[in-house]
């Protein structure tokens, strides 16, 4: 009876030299399959352009490693650390990044995000690490992307609380108060996303303002049609101009307006102004 040999294991990367391993073992194919590097120390390792399939990098430390254009397919990175590494244009496919830590590392954030853990708690840990990493490399676009990922992860967690997605959520969040708390927070998150994209999508804020004013203008349009002899189009122009002028703080042309329209504009104006200042502050801070 033939027995299957265990995959080769190289826990002491520095000792056997990753450079020699690449030249002597991999050859021209540049593909590493089924190798266990667990607890290895990749200091100044050069894996540019290599493809790793089903390799175990659990609890490895990558320090100043250069893996540009590398491909990691179905690899295990649980508990590993990347310190001052270059992973530019490196691709991760179906990898386990649970409890992985990144610091000062250049990477393709959207590609890494595709391999984030499915469990919200594990995903949150990796996202926090990636946010710190993005700040350390002045990658503000990545940080903005990760903030949205963090918000989506929180919403996923809240939905799991509401639905009792698995035994953990059923046991930990079983009471009615837990469900009400999750529902209220989820609604707030959704509203924040609709109104201003959580502060990370300025176009959402602009569309929100336009949509809000359009709804109020349509409401006043009905009032203008009832109280004047203006044609429908002229009545809408008059109501739209009134709503916009009032929102901008200008003196509007008097019309017969619904009282709730005036109050809605007066209440929303400072709120939208505060959101706009917040968004502009973030945009300026990223320059």
Looking at 194, 216, 238, the residue that finishes a domain is: 194
Burial class (CB in 10 A: 0-12, 13-18, 19+), 47: buried
Phi-psi region of 162 (alpha: psi -120 to 50; beta: other; left: phi over 0): alpha
For range 230-240, the mean pLDDT? 93
Same domain, 162 and 52: no
Asked if residue 14 belongs to a domain, the reply is yes
Cα gap 192→178, rounded to integer Å: 21
For residue 220, give both structure tokens: 């006043």
Cα gap 123→2, rounded to integer Å: 41
Structural domain boundaries enclosing 6:
1-120
Asked if residue 129 belongs to a domain, the reply is no
Give the pLDDT confidence of 118-129 residue by residue, as tens digits.
999 999 999 999
- Non-local (6+) Cβ contacts of 280 within 8 A are none
Domain harbouring 3, CATH code: 2.160.20.80
Same domain, 190 and 217: no
Q: Is the pLDDT of residue 111 over 60?
A: yes
Same domain, 96 and 171: no
The reported pLDDT for the residue numbered 16 is 45
Same domain, 278 and 213: yes
Asked if residue 128 belongs to a domain, the reply is no
Question: 92-113 burial by CB neighbour count: b if 16+ within 10 A, else e?
Answer: beebbbbbbbbeebbbebeebb
Asked if residue 208 belongs to a domain, the reply is yes
Q: Please state the domain count of the chain.
A: 3
Same domain, 81 and 173: no
For range 230-256, the mean pLDDT? 91
């Amino acid at each position: 009876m033939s027995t299957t040999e265990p995959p080769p294991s190289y826990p002491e990367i520095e000792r056997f030299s990753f450079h020699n391993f690449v030249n002597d073992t991999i050859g021209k194919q540049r593909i590493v399959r089924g190798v266990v590097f667990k607890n290895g120390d990749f200091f100044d390792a050069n894996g540019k352009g290599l493809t790793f399939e089903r390799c175990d990098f659990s609890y490895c430390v990558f320090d100043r490693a250069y893996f540009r254009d590398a491909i990691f397919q179905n690899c295990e990175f649980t508990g590993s650390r990347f310190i001052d590494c270059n992973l530019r244009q490196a691709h991760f496919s179906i990898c386990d990044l649970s409890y992985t830590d990144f610091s000062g590392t250049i990477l393709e954030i959207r590609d890494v995000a595709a391999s984030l853990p499915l469990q919200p708690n594990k995903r949150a840990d990796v996202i926090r690490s990636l946010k710190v990493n993005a700040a350390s490399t002045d990658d503000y676009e990545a940080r903005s992307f990760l903030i949205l990922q963090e918000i989506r992860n929180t919403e996923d967690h809240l939905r799991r609380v509401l639905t009792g997605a698995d035994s953990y959520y059923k046991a930990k969040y079983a009471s009615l108060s837990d469900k009400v708390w999750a529902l209220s927070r989820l609604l707030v998150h959704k509203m924040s996303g609709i109104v201003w994209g959580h502060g990370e999508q300025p176009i959402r804020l602009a569309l929100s303002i336009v949509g809000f004013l359009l709804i109020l203008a349509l409401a006043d349009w009905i009032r203008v049609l009832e109280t004047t002899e203006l044609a429908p189009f002229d009545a809408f122009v008059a109501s739209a101009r009134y709503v916009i002028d009032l929102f901008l703080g200008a003196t509007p042309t008097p019309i017969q307006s619904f009282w709730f329209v005036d109050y809605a504009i007066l209440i929303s104006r400072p709120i939208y102004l505060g959101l706009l200042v917040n968004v502009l502050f973030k945009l300026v801070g990223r320059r």
